[in-house]
Amino acid sequence: MNNDHHNISVLESNWDGIKVRYCHMKATGDFAWAMPQNGISIIFAPHDRATWSVDGGESQTTPVTSGSVLIHSNRNFVWHYREKKSEWIYLELEPQILTRIAKESNLSTDLEIEYCVLFGDPTILHLAQLFKAEVVKSGVAEKIYIESLRNLLAVHLVRNYSSIERSPITKQITEIIRPLNPWQVKQLQDFIEDNIDQKLSIEKLAAIVHLSQFHFVRVFKEAVGTTPHRYLIQRRIERAKTLLTVTRLSVQEIAIRVGYVNISHFTKQFRNYVGATPAVYRHSV
């Protein structure tokens, strides 16, 4: 990617199983800008008139609305003309993530996400906005949160845009998974409490109850009433409240003990959940 030539600014994060690239491009007028293959782009800045082509075919001039999605597959999508500055995000899932979903759902692992461009999908747009927020914040989010977003995107693509979705066998992807029993819920809660200062992952929690991580989030939410990520934050904040009340540990030390390396991130989440900063809370109890 030649950033200088195209007057483009890029923020990029590489997490486990997904690459996220948030871009602004100042270039307008006539040019040839090829989008990466095998990923998804979501357009944030609308265009009244844009010209593009696919695989060297005849160019088309169309409006591009904000929120438009492009699933590139193995096609060569090229922008030729735009009148306004551009803003978009590019998401690229590692193939093994999609393969794992297919395998755990008793589907053929020989699947391909199908080419489809300039369409609307509220789920993909919402996930793109959440990924954008994390890239802009330099990726301070919990690992468990990024995994949840990645898995939701992957499952959504397999269900709605894969080559195998046309087959009746894909109905198995929505198969009924047994809910967590009370003992399993207690086992998970105890593990989280005992490891609250660690970088917990969906994969690790799912393994405790012998479920695939793609089904785990759903049954956890059904059993506990919230997602694993939100539950983990709640428990960390509750532990922090206790430590602020009964110890003289510094706010920084408490942040570390409840799993936060970044003290400003801890302070922000504490304020969001409690309505006051850790220091103000400590003096109010």
Q: Measure Cα distances from 190 to 135, 143, 154, 204, 237 in Å.
A: 32, 19, 29, 14, 16
CATH topology of domain 177-284: Arc Repressor Mutant, subunit A (1.10.10)
Residue 173, pLDDT above cutoff 50: no
> Of all residues in the chain, what percent carry a pLDDT higher than 90?
60
Fold matches, 8-161 and 177-284: no
Distance between CA atoms of residues 254 and 275, nearest Å: 18
- Domain spans of the chain? 8-161, 177-284
Identify the CATH assignment for 8-161 out of 3.30.450.370, 3.40.630.10, 3.40.50.1370, 2.60.120.10: 2.60.120.10
Residue 77, pLDDT above cutoff 90: yes
What pLDDT shows up at residue 165? 45
Residue 164, pLDDT above cutoff 80: no
pLDDT per residue over 212-236, tens digit each?
A: 887 888 899 999 999 999 999 999 9
